[in-house]
Structure 1
């Protein structure tokens, strides 16, 4: 169950809903989840942008970006597969951490000259969706 606060005539009301019940009739597989599909796109974009990085970064920043970005859809699918809203929520939180980690690695890469802000602009925008 997920709690959400809403204001009702000046009073705070907590509303609960089950993540797994939300449009589950349309979701037959984790690959049907829009959030997983977007995560896969981000990971793919990260793989392409890091191909341009210097070879000496293969086991440094390239590896960090690829691991953190691939962790986004991986945690979404793993959480979905747990079949419990509590576990799913926990894995979504882990995926959000991977989003932040990926953004940090990309921004640092631009700051130290491994890429330009233009190279990563689309990925950064997708991470913020």
Structure 2
């Protein structure tokens, strides 16, 4: 079994999830069960799928969970664009994230 904590991609995605929670806490309360929730779920899906994949016995299963994490990363990328277009974050924050 792999130790997910040893992967830089896991550590970076964990930091990203923390940052998403931080910035979405400043979103309008009307977005609590909409964009805020969706962004948070996509954000924590990335490191959690990496961690779950590390617990699998085969490289094929590990690879499958990495692809799921990548899909969540793309979903989150869109949410950053949407948040910027809704003026919840600025262009610089969108590019940074």
TM-score interval for Structure 1 and Structure 2 normalised by the shorter chain? over 0.9
Higher relative contact order (CA 8 A, sep 6+): 2
**Are positions 1:94 and 2:68 aligned together?**
yes
TM-score (norm 2): 0.92
Tell me the residue number matched to 1:69: 43
Q: CA RMSD in A?
A: 1.4
**Higher fraction of helix:** 2
Give unpaired runs (5+ residues) of structure 1.
1-19, 21-26, 124-129
Radius of gyration: which is bigger?
Answer: 1
Instruction: Decide which moves more: 70-79 or 110-119.
Output: 110-119
**Are positions 1:51 and 2:25 aligned together?**
yes
Superposition misfits of 4+ residues, deviation over 6 angstroms: none
CA contact (8 A) 1:49 1:120 kept: no
In the aligned structure 1, how far is the partner of 2:56 from the partner of 2:29? 38
TM-score (norm 1): 0.71
**Offset of residue 49 of structure 1:** 1.1
In the aligned structure 2, how far is the partner of 1:95 from the partner of 1:70? 9
Give unpaired runs (5+ residues) of structure 2.
none
Q: 1:107-126 maps to which residues of 2 (within 5 A)?
A: 107-123=81-97
